[in-house]
Amino acid sequence: MPTKPFIRNSSLADIQSWLVENGFQKFRAQQIFEKIWKQGVQTFNQINNIPIALREALNVHFSIGAVQEKMRQVSTDGTIKVIFELHDGKIVEGVLIPAGTRMTACVSSQVGCSLDCKFCATGYLPRERNLESFEIFDQVKLIHQIALEKYDQKLSNIVYMGMGEPLLNYKNVVNSVKQLTDEHKWGLSPKRITLSTSGITKMIKKLADEDLNVNLALSLHAANDEKRSAIMPINDSNNLTDLSAAMQYWVGKTGIRPTLEYCVIADTNAEEEEAIELVKFAKQFPCKINLIEYNPISFADFDKANVEKIENFAAILQRHNLIVNVRRSRGKDIDAACGQLAGKQD
């Protein structure tokens, strides 16, 4: 860890005060701010419109903590996985998912994850640390540059579905959303941002109170406490009754219909009985359901349910008037699909 504070954890007013205290002109703060946020300089020396003495002083007092692209892999379906290196050498992954006019960036919020979901590769990595808000911001910026370079398109959507549990890095995740939606930093509409959570009930309620206007996805994967606890240990302390209450609170407070993510796994959660359990859960509040194709991982021997099972499952939900999308997996050949991110670099 550098002992110097990260400049992007300082507000414009903080930088102004620091400048004045250190004998520099206050208006320089705007120039510095523009360069570190909008232009994404990676060193203070790249701020070429301020005096050299100020660049040196910034160097002594602050660090930028810029995320670097370390490696890139392109899938046959156009999905691009990016391995990012953080200021302390730690690694996280992000993904660019092109789909017609949609360009989605999938970003990480923690190095590893402390929750041990049995079906997820990240769950088998220890949680090493939370990402700083600007480290999430940097992933978006770097993935955006790849979208422009490779597909000549801007990013249209951001999903917090990479490594880590966003709601267990609450403050930094919320700040990253504020940075991404701040027109002086990025300026994306919050409607284009989705936070995905394994279901930390207390934090779902807190997020509802923030008035951020982002979308929320709940990784459900089973609508029966015993079955959910077997694959998601977090369910022991955040069970379905509590989750339902939190989601009702979310809808009441934000008016935003959440998505339930359900990955259909053979011999685990793919039978008619389980579809009916999901109907019961989903009927408790307005929501839509994404049925996701399960991506096999090397750490566990779950299999994806076959196409007929998934279609039958979807049909049951539809018969009960639920909104259902069946999602094909993307970037499987390069381990970039949901749940496959495990910091593999070969």
Residue 117 contacts ligand SF4 per CB under 6 A: yes
Q: Which is nearer to ligand SF4, 90 or 320 (CB)?
A: 90
Dig out the tokens for 189 from the structure.
Answer: 């509409």
Q: How far is the CB of 24 from ligand SAH (least distance, A)?
A: 42
Give dist(CA 61, CA 119) in Å, integer.
44
Residue 218 contacts ligand SF4 per CB under 6 A: no
Query: By rule CB under 6 A, what string of x and - marks binding of each residue 152-191 to ligand SAH?
Result: ---------x---x--------------------------
Site for ligand SAH in 193-232 (CB under 6 A): 196-198, 219
Binding residue for ligand SAH, selected from 32, 214, 291, 338, defined by CB under 6 A: 338
Q: Does the annotation mark 93 as catalytic? A: yes
298, 344 Cβ separation under 8 angstroms: no
Residue 146 contacts ligand SAH per CB under 6 A: no
- Kindly name the residue from 106, 120, 263, 338 that is annotated as catalytic: 338
Q: Which of 299, 268, 318 is nearest to 125 (CA)?
A: 299
**Candidates 70-78, 85-93, 116-124, 174-182 — which segment interacts with ligand SF4 by CB under 6 A?**
116-124
Q: How far is the CB of 157 from ligand SAH (least distance, A)?
A: 14
Residue 223 contacts ligand SF4 per CB under 6 A: no
CA 144 from centroid of its chain's CA atoms: 15
Q: Supply the Cα-derived Rg of the chain in whole angstroms.
A: 21
Question: How many residues bind ligand SAH, per CB under 6 A?
Answer: 16
Which residue's entry shows tokens 């991982």? 297
Q: How far is the CB of 7 from ligand SF4 (least distance, A)?
A: 29
Which of ligand SF4, ligand SAH, none sits in contact with 285, Cβ below 5 to 8 A by type?
Answer: none
According to DSSP, the residues that pair with 291 across neighbouring strands are 262, 326
Question: How many residues bind ligand SF4, per CB under 6 A?
Answer: 10
Residue 334 contacts ligand SAH per CB under 6 A: no
Residue 120 contacts ligand SAH per CB under 6 A: yes
Residue 204 contacts ligand SF4 per CB under 6 A: no
Q: Which residue has the CB atom at the shortest distance from ligand SAH?
A: 339
Q: Which amino acid is at 276?
A: I
Which residue's entry shows tokens 């109170």? 209
Query: By rule CB under 6 A, what string of x and - marks binding of each residue 56-95 to ligand SAH?
Result: ----------------------------------------
Which of ligand SF4, ligand SAH, none sits in contact with 292, Cβ below 5 to 8 A by type?
Answer: ligand SAH
89, 67 Cβ separation under 8 angstroms: no
Binding residue for ligand SAH, selected from 263, 270, 275, 334, defined by CB under 6 A: 263
- Kindly name the residue from 93, 165, 274, 293 that is annotated as catalytic: 93
Q: Which is nearer to ligand SF4, 117 or 203 (CB)?
A: 117
Binding residue for ligand SF4, selected from 63, 104, 122, 259, defined by CB under 6 A: 122
Residues taking part in catalysis: 93, 338
